[in-house]
A and B are shown apart, each in its own frame.
Chain A
Amino acid sequence: MKKAAAWAILFLGITYFVLPLIGMVEFSLSMRRGVYSFDAYAKVLADPQFRQTFSYSVFMALLTIVFGMFLVVPTAFWVRLKMPRMRPVVEFVTLLPLVIPAIVVVFGYIRLFNTSSWLPLTGTTFGTNMLLMFGYATLSLPYMYRAVDTGLRTIDVATLTEAAQSLGAGWFTVLARVILPNVLVAVLSGAFVTFAIVMGEFTMAALLNRPAFGPYLQLMGANKAYEPFALATIAFVITWACMGLIQLVTRFSKHTKAAR
C-alpha cells in the first residue's frame, strides 16, 4: 500500500514536470496543419537574427566563463589559504546576486557607467559588451564560487601549495599547474551553469540594448505563434546538454577518485 502511494506520488510529480514540456514540444511541431513537422524549427534556424543573437550569447557566455574563472579561482583559493576567517563574508557577498534583482544591478551599472560618468562604458559597443559580461559574471557568481569552493574543499589546498612551493613553484605556477587542474571539474560545472544562465538572460541584455538570445526569445514570443515554442525547446535542450556535460566531465575525470 505504502509502495503504491509512493509510486503514485512519483507519477504525479513526473506528470507535473513532463506534461507541460510534452505540450510545448508537441505545439512546436504543429505548425503544419494535421501533421507533425519541424517547420517552426526550420524557420527559427533560418532566421538570421536567431543566428546572430545565438552566436552573440554563446560568445558572451564563453567570455563570462573565462572572466569568472580568472576572478573566482584565485579568490576562492586565496580565501581558503590565507583568509579562512573571511570565508563567511566572501560567501555572503557572492550570494548577493541571488537577492538583488538583475534589474537593480543593471540600473546601477547604467547610473555608474553612463556617458556622463567618470568611466563611460555605455558610450561604446565594446564598453557596453564588457558591462554586460561583468553583469553576467555577477549573476553567475553564486554558482561559480560555490562550485569552485566545493572543488577546493576536496583537495588539501594548503599542503599541495606548500609542496609545490618547496619544489620551486611561484604563485602563478601553483595556481595554473596544481590548483586549477585539480578543481577543473568544479570549474567546468560552474562554467556550464554560467553558460545556461547567460543563454537565457533577458533583463540585462534588454536594458543595455545588446543583441542577445534572451531578448530575441522575448521578441519572438510577442510576435509569433509556433516559433517561440521551438525556441523554448532549443533553450531547454541547451540547458540539459549543459547538465549532461557536467555529469560527463565528472565521470571521465581520471584523477578524481578517492585515495585508498
Chain B
Amino acid sequence: MSFLTISHLEKSFGPNRVVKDFNLTVDQGEFISLLGPSGCGKTTVLRMVAGFESPSAGQITIDGADVVRLRPNQRNIGMVFQAYALFPNLTVAQNVGFGLKVKGAPTKEIAARVEEMLSLIGLSELGNRYPFQLSGGQQQRVALARALAPKPQVLLLDEPLSALDAKVRVSLRNEIRTIQRELGITTIFVTHDQEEALSMSDRVVVMHQGIADQVGTPFEIYNRPATRFVAGFVGTLNTLEAKVLDPATGRVDVAGTEILLHRALTGSNATLGLRPEMVSLGQGAHDTGLQGTITDVDFLGSVIRLRADVGGQSIAFDTFNTTQSSPPRIGEKVVLGLNATDLLVIGD
C-alpha cells in the first residue's frame, strides 16, 4: 500500500486552473521528482502537500490519514526551500533544533538530535555559526538537517539546488540522495532540471500545464516518453516527420528511406523521435542509413555535436572526439546510421 496518495487534486487561482486532476501514489522511502517547466504546477502540488495552499478539489493522504484539512504545522512534514529560509537570528545548531524545541522536546534530546543531524551533513564544527557566516551549499545542508531533525513523515524539497553553483549542486544532490536512502524517508523533490530529476529519483513525474504527463522511472521517462511534450522536455530529441506506407507493419518513409518499425501505426503521417546518442556517423552495423549533409559542427570537448540536413529535416547527433580522425566539415555528405528500434513514435 502506498504511503502518500494524491487523488484528483485540483487547484485554481481565480479562473486559472494550475493543477488539473493530479494523481500520484508514493511508496514509503521512495524518492519522487516533479519535473516540468516554470508554471507547470509542480510547486503548487508540493505546496498543497505541505499545507501552504488549499486544494480546490481532491484528496491528499499520508499513511492513510487525510491531511487536506490539517494546518501546515500539524502535518509533520519537513520542507527545504530554494532560498534556504534559515532563521537569521539563530545559530546553525538553534536552527536545526527549532522544530524539536517547538514540539517541546527535552533539552538533552534536542542537543543529541542536533549533534546527530550536524554530523550527518558533515557540519559538526559549525554549530555556533550564524547563517550569514555560511556558504550557500552549507546553508542548504543546514536547511536539510533542520527539516529532518523532527523526524518528519515526508520530506519536501522545493528546488533546493537552484540557487547553488554547478559544482556544489552536483555534490549536494549526491549528498541529499545518500541521506535520503540512509534515513529511508519518503521524499518529493521539485525541479525544472532534468539531470537532477533523472539522476536522483526512483520515479519522475513530468508535469505540463497542470497535468502529470507521465509517471515513470528515469529510464522509462527518457527512453519511452509517453507524449510529445515529455519527449521534447526530457533530454535532446530529434523529431522526424514520416510518411506511413503500411500502418499494419509500421513501414514508413523518412526523407526517401524506408524504415520498418514493426509496430502498428494510425494515420498517414507519423512523428518519430530520435535521441542524438542513437545516431552514428556512417551506417556501420546499424540497420538503417540516412543520407544527409552536415550543416553545423560544435566542438564540446569530449564529444562533437553535429547537425545534418536529411531531406529537409534536421538531425543532431554526437560523435566522440578522437585524435585519430577529424570531424566532418560543413557541407560534407554523410550517412547517418541508426536502428529502427531506437526510433520513438511520438503521440500527443
Contact = CB atoms under 8 A, between A and B. Distances in A.
Interface string A158-185: 0110111111111001000110011010
A184 B89 CA distance: 10
Contacts of A156: 83, 85
B83 A168 contact: no
Contacts of B98: 164, 167, 169, 177
A181 B89 contact: yes
Contacts of B72: 162, 165-166
A260 B139 CA distance: 10
Nearest to A160: B85
Interface string B49-91: 0111000000000000000000111001111010101111110
Given A162-B79, A255-B130, A259-B132, A167 B88 contact: no
Given A166-B72, A168-B99, A173-B102, A254 B77 contact: no
B95 to A, nearest CB: 9
A159 B81 contact: yes
B81 to A, nearest CB: 5
B78 A258 contact: no
Interface residues of A, number: 26
Nearest to B135: A260
B130 A167 contact: no
Contacts of A116: none
A111 B211 CA distance: 62
B240 to A, nearest CB: 45
Residue with the greatest number of chain B CB neighbours at <10 A, chosen from A164, A173, A258: A164
Contacts of A257: 130, 132
Interface string A246-260: 000000001111111
A259 B163 CA distance: 13
A83 interface: no
A162 B46 CA distance: 13
B89 A166 contact: no
Interface in B134-150: 134-136, 139, 143, 146-147, 150
Contacts of A162: 50, 52, 72, 79, 81, 85
Contacts of A258: 132
A168 B103 contact: yes
B79 A166 contact: yes
B77 A166 contact: yes
Contacts of B51: 165
B131 interface: yes
A182 B52 contact: no
Contact of A167 (B133, B135, B136, B150): B150
A172 to B, nearest CB: 11
A255 B88 contact: yes
Residue with the greatest number of chain B CB neighbours at <10 A, chosen from A178, A255, A257: A255
A178 B73 CA distance: 15
A178 B130 contact: no
A114 B135 CA distance: 61
A155 interface: yes
Given A166-B147, A254-B130, A182 B73 contact: no
Nearest to A180: B89
B87 A164 contact: yes
Interface in B107-152: 130-136, 139, 143, 146-147, 150
Given A178-B87, A254-B130, A168 B135 contact: no
A164 B85 CA distance: 9
Contact of B102 (A169, A181, A182, A259): A169
A159 B89 contact: no
Contacts of A260: 132-136
A182 B89 contact: yes
Given A162-B79, A168-B73, A168-B150, A182 B132 contact: no
Contacts of B83: 156, 159
| 9 nearest A-B pairs in the assembled complex, by CB-CB distance | A167-B99, A163-B85, A166-B79, A165-B72, A181-B89, A159-B85, A168-B102, A257-B132, A165-B73
24 contacts: A159-B81, A159-B83, A162-B50, A162-B85, A163-B85, A163-B86, A164-B87, A164-B98, A165-B52, A166-B50, A166-B73, A167-B98, A167-B99, A167-B102, A170-B71, A170-B73, A178-B89, A182-B88, A254-B130, A255-B89, A255-B90, A258-B132, A259-B132, A260-B132
Given A166-B50, A169-B98, 4 more contacts: A160-B87, A170-B73, A256-B88, A259-B131
